[in-house]
Amino acid sequence: MNKVLILGAGLVVKPMVEYLLEHNFTVKIATTTREKADRMIKGHPNGSSLRWSTDETGILENLIDEHDIAVSFLPYRFHTLVARICIKYKKPLVTTSYVQPEMQDLDEPAKNAGVIILNEIGLDPGIDHMTAMKVIDHIHGKGGKVKEFYSLCGALPAPEAVDNPMNYKFSWSPRGVVLASRNSALYLKKGETCLY
């Protein structure tokens, strides 16, 4: 898995690009804003960029076929398109978005093709959930019991970076933040399932 295709060049892409390039992966960023991608790559010999739009599905098919893995930072509504092509070419896919019903419908086709599709692998819920489970599993491993666990994640900037009246930093699409804020939440509280 040496050749990584990254779709999109939004605010959260840079750390991944830097990490992959530092560890000798070959990285191609396909995005509508090639200049942003080039600033992330910083002339690294293993990095390249391509101006690409989501309506160019033929180019997307070629890109996925040429790479070992695809990572989609596109808006969530495009993940299903990318996943279908990844399944067709038997290439794994990683996304940062929650699983939508259309993506869930691809579970069996992905399994039948032997393709791993990993969703929700961003900070919240991905890293946040994995870190939570590490703590919970550690407590259980010591014979303890978790009675309550609260997790609040994302958008709280370091005090020195607070430079706006909202005290909020967009690390992803502002439109996505607003849309996500309209979603309901299902959670457990004192053994009862609650809907917010």
* Secondary structure of 52-79 in HEC code, one letter for each residue: CCCCCHHHHHHHHHHCCEEEECCCHHHH
Identified catalytic residue from 124, 128, 137, 163: 124
d(CA 122, CA 18): 16
Clarify whether 137 is annotated catalytic. Answer: no
- Give the whole-angstrom CA distance, residue 68 versus residue 65: 8
Known catalytic residues are 124
